[in-house]
Amino acid sequence: MDVTIVGGGIAGLALAHQLAPDHDVTVLESSPGPRGGGYMIDFFGPGFVAAERMGIIEELRTRGHVFEGVRYAAPDGRETGRIDVGPLAAALGGRYFSILRPEVEQGLLAVLPESVQLRYDARVLAARSTPEARAAAPDRAVVELEDGTTITSDLVVACDGVRSAVRGTVAPGHGEIVPMGYRVASYLYPDPELAAELGERMLMTDTVGRVGWAYAAGDSRVGVMFAERVDPALTERPTPDPERLQREFAGLHPAVDRALAHAPESFYDDLVAQAIAPRWSRGRIVLAGDAAHAPSLLAGLGTSLAIGGAEALARSLRAAGPHVEVGLAEYERRWRPTAEKTQRAGRSSASFFTPSSPGQLRLQQLLRRAFSLPGITRVLPRTFLAP
């Protein structure tokens, strides 16, 4: 069948990889090319297992890195604690590494079968699944592009991220994001000197209300991330403003101040949010990745879920053969429990993300010590290595 995938991010490219041997696949991506800017993600859990099954784990692993751990520090630069990654990575059987989001995208592009038609600068405005459209062509779905053209195919998969343009059509009333009361900004910039100073440990500031991270992204670049609490009622995507960032996050740590001075004009800046959809498909339109079940960066598993969900969808479609709707229902039945478990974990960790008071900061410092207890390394693999 012909399949149109909306969004050439992580879920879209992973799905295209899996469907290409059996189907004619077109990917419509709104950006002019692969998205370069990015942040470091931890890759483990269900997506890791799926990437092994897909035969692409080595392509991703060679682009990743295993840090020694995290170093916490006070605004005067004093170290306040450490977490080592070693025990966690060992408990996960080595199925863990850190990787820049753009490297995941590049890795998926490197293994993308040639038969996939990947169109950049192709923004989808809507996918149509009205009762009239379904009555006219029950086994087809239509997407409308910004350039005024339409594409009709046997299946449309919306992989267009947490702010999906399609989710509201599949699950009316659920098109909006569900904000979690945080705003996050991040960027990469060249700074070999600071990269060498940061070395094998990510730096995280031990501060109240606002938190900064800095890490070496290879030998020559530094990645930074900034998080702050905001009104949870806000839903509109904020506009990146380097001067605001420099004002709001000054004084968290000398290394973070240095990185702030290099804030570019344009960078990733968005509300931390989940996507909730009580149903994932309608007729021949189905949601995948963040568009279906964004768990937010608080869960630390969005990329993993995006790859795992795409692979689960492809497997269910393969098993269902010509009975596409059966495959879509089976995908949701099998994959929703994993996605919802991860979303619950994201919500329950929300209040700990950025301490709101000195008392909460102290509590976090105590909880951090629990990570060095032997029991935690036995519990984590059971929690994260879901099928």
Q: Would you tell me which residues interact with ligand FAD (CB under 6 A)?
A: 6-12, 28-31, 35, 39, 41-42, 101, 123-124, 159-161, 165, 184, 186, 225, 289-290, 294, 297, 300-304, 306
Q: Residue 79 to residues 86, 104, 200: CA-CA distances in angstroms?
A: 20, 32, 15
When the beta carbons of 165 and 313 are compared against ligand FAD, the nearer one is: 165
When the beta carbons of 263 and 306 are compared against ligand FAD, the nearer one is: 306
Instruction: Report yes or no: 150 and 28 within 8 Å, Cβ to Cβ.
Output: no
How many angstroms separate the CA atoms of 112 and 64, rounded? Answer: 19
The tokens describing 125, both together, are 């405005």
Residues for the chain: how many in total? 387
- Could you give the dihedral angle defined by the CA atoms of residues 262, 268, 270 and 275, in that order, rounded to the nearest 10 degrees? -150
Min CB(109)–ligand FAD separation in Å = 12
Query: Which DSSP symbol is given to 357?
Result: S
Which of 278, 276, 268 is CA-nearest to residue 238? 268
Instruction: Report yes or no: 345 and 50 within 8 Å, Cβ to Cβ.
Output: no
Min CB(192)–ligand FAD separation in Å = 23
Q: Indicate the pairing of strand 210-217 with strand 221-229.
A: antiparallel
When the beta carbons of 329 and 345 are compared against ligand FAD, the nearer one is: 345
DSSP string across 246-265: HHHTTTS-HHHHHHHTT--S
Min CB(167)–ligand FAD separation in Å = 11
When the beta carbons of 300 and 327 are compared against ligand FAD, the nearer one is: 300
Min CB(105)–ligand FAD separation in Å = 8
When the beta carbons of 10 and 324 are compared against ligand FAD, the nearer one is: 10
Min CB(321)–ligand FAD separation in Å = 26
When the beta carbons of 77 and 264 are compared against ligand FAD, the nearer one is: 264
When the beta carbons of 118 and 297 are compared against ligand FAD, the nearer one is: 297
How many angstroms separate the CA atoms of 368 and 135, rounded? Answer: 57
Beta-carbon contacts of 236 under 8 Å, excluding residues fewer than 6 positions away, are none
Min CB(163)–ligand FAD separation in Å = 7
Min CB(304)–ligand FAD separation in Å = 4
Q: Say whether 177 sits in a helix, a strand or coil.
A: coil
